[in-house]
Structure 1
């Protein structure tokens, strides 16, 4: 069974994005778990025992930027990804108030 973790970086401030709520959903949009990024912007063990399928991570970016008193365009970021094999999946998010990017991490 697979596992998933994430790491959020505030690309404008050049620091980890601490305190971002992250929710993992399965393909049926059932909420599996919610966690908050630590001081290093990480959630090391967000999901475990994942079977093959499509999953979604939803990041509460609006609350993060509101806490920074920074206007932002995206109130949330949702990243869909596929678990196809039994391994660890790392889904990083590079964040700014008006843009974001992601990639398949290691």
Structure 2
């Protein structure tokens, strides 16, 4: 499991999960309660490298999810992105990302 906080201009924006077997990046979206394939983040991670990617462990990632502080999308300002991520069929549940065991 590879988890990252993704920052832009020093501000944490997303909690991201890298599926190393499929070479895909998923972002946690609190409104949806799941990690969703995020093509733009994947493009940055694998090609552009314009954002800052900081590895985090499972306990830290679980805390970020519990706090719901990253990945918030305002339904008015970010409607298009929220609609795109909501419609994305490729997603991961919290159990798939963190495993069946609770994180201390």
- Fold in common (TM above 0.5): no
Normalising by structure 1, we get a TM-score of 0.27
Normalising by structure 2, we get a TM-score of 0.28
Q: Pick the structure with more helix per residue.
A: 2
